[in-house]
Amino acid sequence: MNLPNKLTLLRVILVPFFLLFLLVDQIPLHGLWALVIFAAASVTDALDGHIARSRGLITDFGKFLDPVADKVLVFAALIAFVELGLASSVAVVIMMAREFLVSSMRMVAASKGRVIAAGKSGKVKTAVTMVSIVVILLLLAIADFAIGAAIPLAAVSNVLIWICGVITVYSGVEYLVQNKDVFTGSM
């Protein structure tokens, strides 16, 4: 197994540790540790792709596992936020539904020999979602130090997640419209 694939696997392995620190508030500085682990996992995402492309180490396993690892990390955070009262379950389900729909379309297209690349709005959706998660985790980490007591964490978090949800719906609709031939069978 090459280095990029090991980094991708590391991202998946970090998810349970991220959740442990995020959800167990009896652990001292749990929000800070959750932020550090999420940041480390996110860095592996940037590193694995860069290393794979620069060294010619792109593999079918990596092409499959990398987006799966990304979704596992992001949805672990979002579902944990629901449990903590920091995100609407409706917004998170909308975001998950979009990912299942887009992934399904990509699989159908791939079965017909077509690769559908991520669109601009999908990349914006991903960036806004990752930044929102980091901001929420940063606010949790600040609360660990009892200096964030005046921050309305749940309100800020829910607004950020709903913004992500709206962008997710837009990018999903755009994706469907641009690739409707996958469903009509005319590709």
| pLDDT tens per residue, range 80-120 | 999 999 999 999 999 999 999 988 888 888 788 777 777 78
Give the phi and the psi of residue 38 in degrees, each rounded to 5. Answer: -60, -45
- Are 137 and 62 in contact by the 8 Å Cβ rule? The answer is no
Query: What is the pTM assigned to this prediction?
Result: 0.89
Q: What percent of the chain is predicted at pLDDT more than 70?
A: 96
**What average pLDDT does the segment 31-50 reach?**
91
- Alpha helix stretches (DSSP H) within 56-119: 60-83, 89-111
pLDDT (0 to 100) of residue 64: 79
Binning the chain into helix, strand and coil, the percentages to the nearest 5 are 80, 0, 20
Domains and CATH numbers, the chain: 3-184 (1.20.120.1760)
More confident residue, 184 or 123: 123
| pLDDT tens per residue, range 145-168 | 766 566 788 999 999 999 999 999
pLDDT (0 to 100) of residue 149: 60
- Write down the mean pLDDT value for the chain: 89
Identify which of 161, 2, 137, 132 has the alpha carbon closest to the alpha carbon of residue 66: 2
Helices and strands per DSSP (H, E), number in the chain: 7, 0
More confident residue, 162 or 126: 162
